[in-house]
Structure 1
Amino acid sequence: MTVPANQSAPMSRREWLLSDRPQSRRQARLGRAYVTWRQFTANRLAVVGLLIIIALLFVAAFANVLATHSPIVGDLKNARLLPPGSEGYWLGTDDQGRDIYSRLVYGARLTLLVVVLVAAISAPIGLIVGTVSGYAGGWVDATLMRITDIFLAFPKLVLALAFVAALGPGIQNAIIAIAITSWPPYARIARAETLTVRRSDYISAVKLMGASPLRIVVRHVMPLCLSSLIVRVTLDMAGIILTAAGLGFLGLGAQPPLPEWGAMIASGRRFILDQWWVAAMPGFAILIVSLGFNLLGDGLRDALDPKESGQ
């Protein structure tokens, strides 16, 4: 059956999304999101990373259903240091008779809590500092970047240890300390992005329309920095997990009996030769989750890179 010359064939959903002449902003945004998703899913390792993070979210959301024992109370008399698979303990027990599997499941909540709160605190701070510094220039730029350089001069873990030592041990103080040490790289990225668009024709046109510097930075410059910032935050989440685990290992993060993975490794290092599973299981969990965030970040970087998307 042929279609009359004066009547065009109905456009499929895929053709509508990939149209080079979108009829609305909604169509343009959905088309761009569809292209980005196709580029992301073309990277199989990135999809693996996404599945790992989805699994982490699922485990954290349904920890009370997935856990088989209490993560805090153990059977010290009858279940101390049992190997994996013994008496219903899938991953064995620790020196307090607590089920390691259940502690790992509940520990996923603490891991997500640290990652989400640190990203929610540090990323906006870095975005604001970087865009203001890059757009204002002059002494404002010099002052903000020198402060940023001071934070970057110290290793992140060492600086976090100093802040936690000043604030006191605890999961809340650990989150604050990690967030304080995590924002400088985001400020650098936002400043670099701002410098590339500050003198563009697009920003000049907005100035001619009478927009204030605050409106230009908030409404027009910051959105252009978000894609690079999202990629960097995703890649840094593995480092955030390792820093939190390091603080927990040193006893400055989540305090016992909370099932924090770094603290679990610290309590199991005494039995590493004979009861290896006490420290190995939380270490393996940190490895898998960190790998998932790294793979996801690499995939987002390739999908959101305008040079790659233009090929």
Structure 2
Amino acid sequence: MSDQTASDLSWHDWLTTTSPHSRRQARLGQLYRQWLAFRKNPAAMAGLAIVVALLLVAAFAPLIAPHDPLAQALDKRLLPPSGVNWFGTDSLGRDIFSRIVWGARVTLVIVMLVVITVGPLGLLIGCAAGYLGGWVDVVLMRITDVFLAFPRLVLALAFVAALGPGLENAVIAIAFTAWPPYARVARAETMIIRNADYIAAIRLQGASQARIVLKHVVPMCMPSLIVRTTLDMAGIILTAAGLGFLGLGAQPPIPEWGAMISAGREQIFDQWWVATFPGLAICIVALGFNLLGDGLRDVLDAR
């Protein structure tokens, strides 16, 4: 047996041991076992590959895009897909493939900003409502119900109409409408955790309610929140594309996939490629996040 094989076996045994010698080893072993379970799911691995591809395309857009996404060439307008313009050109002669590649950055920025905003907000509201209970729970959940009573896109349209069109306002509008499901999930988890024996022991030691929520309840809710976040990214992308399609999201000439579909809807029958390829990009990315979320749910959710 080679030294490399022996080294691999030793690391495998060290990570999968049932008697870890430190907290670090236990945590690394848990992550390693979760990864082993995750990679057995072909659909989840396909979703991970799509998401990683999106990240790489967004990171290396200047190297991948063969043309300037904003450069207009009216003598090359509405050209079909070819070796020069892989996805054809739009009504202003801009290369559609290059615009889709750069549009991945816009989509990723919207998703990350929304997730960074709504994740902590929904987690804190849900944990506070579930742990404190009483009138705090009633007030926070009734506010949550008000937001859940309206379809997300309709509510986002109302916020954007009040704030005005633009990428920043679209992010704010989506964030305002996306937090209620996170709060619901966190509340349900917290109502189970708050009755655990170790929470009672911590309470008897004199820990404050804020410390119990932030140090002990919130970390236990994180796995469910991660799964919910991953599954919700597809909805965020579709909402952002819907706002862009209606002209309320990213404004021209920013290459945003929803706005690209809107620009190509007039040529959908004659020049199908103008709207088809941005639509396929949205479908593939949304599918990737859904598959990744399903795989994470199978691994992280013990039930």
TM-score by length of 1: 0.94
- Pick from 96, 99, 102 the counterpart of residue 98 of structure 2: 102
Shift of 1:73: 1.6
Shift of 1:21: 1.3
SS at match of 1:274: coil
Shift of 1:306: 1.5
Q: What pairs with 1:42-191 in structure 2 (closer than 5 Å)?
A: 42-76=40-74, 78-85=75-82, 88-191=84-187
Structure having the higher Rg: 1
Shift of 1:156: 0.2
Amino acid of the residue matched to residue 52 of structure 1?
Answer: I
Q: CA RMSD in A?
A: 0.8
Q: What pairs with 1:1-311 in structure 2 (closer than 5 Å)?
A: 12-76=10-74, 78-85=75-82, 88-307=84-303
Q: What is the rounded CA distance, in whole Å, between the counterparts of 2:187 and 2:18 in structure 1?
A: 32
Q: What is the rounded CA distance, in whole Å, between the counterparts of 2:226 and 2:160 in structure 1?
A: 27
Shift of 1:16: 1.4
Per-residue CA deviations over 1:72-120 (Å, capped at 9, x if unaligned) read 12211x210000016x111100000000000000000000000000000
Amino acid of the residue matched to residue 79 of structure 2?
Answer: L
Amino acid of the residue matched to residue 80 of structure 2?
Answer: P
Identity %: 65
Amino acid of the residue matched to residue 121 of structure 1?
Answer: T
Report what 2:3 is aligned to. Answer: none
SS at match of 1:270: helix
SS at match of 1:42: coil
Q: What is the rounded CA distance, in whole Å, between the counterparts of 1:176 and 1:104 in structure 2?
A: 23
Per-residue CA deviations over 1:111-166 (Å, capped at 9, x if unaligned) read 00000000000111100000000011000000000000000000000000000000
Shift of 1:13: 1.5
Amino acid of the residue matched to residue 66 of structure 1?
Answer: I
List structure 1 runs of 4+ shifted beyond 4 angstroms.
none
Amino acid of the residue matched to residue 15 of structure 1?
Answer: D
Amino acid of the residue matched to residue 259 of structure 1?
Answer: P
Amino acid of the residue matched to residue 77 of structure 2?
Answer: R
Amino acid of the residue matched to residue 224 of structure 2?
Answer: S
Q: What is the rounded CA distance, in whole Å, between the counterparts of 2:239 and 2:272 in structure 1?
A: 23
Q: What is the rounded CA distance, in whole Å, between the counterparts of 1:224 and 1:34 in structure 2?
A: 19
Q: What is the rounded CA distance, in whole Å, between the counterparts of 1:304 and 1:35 in structure 2?
A: 11
Shift of 1:234: 0.2
Amino acid of the residue matched to residue 158 of structure 1?
Answer: V
Q: What is the rounded CA distance, in whole Å, between the counterparts of 1:272 and 1:140 in structure 2?
A: 52
Q: What is the rounded CA distance, in whole Å, between the counterparts of 2:279 and 2:45 in structure 1?
A: 23
Could you tell me which runs of 5 or more consecutive residues in structure 2 were left unpaired when the two chains were aligned: 1-8
Shift of 1:264: 0.2
Shift of 1:223: 0.2
Q: What is the rounded CA distance, in whole Å, between the counterparts of 1:134 and 1:127 in structure 2?
A: 10
TM-score by length of 2: 0.96
Residues paired across the two proteins, number: 295
SS at match of 1:273: coil
Could you tell me which runs of 5 or more consecutive residues in structure 1 were left unpaired when the two chains were aligned: 1-10
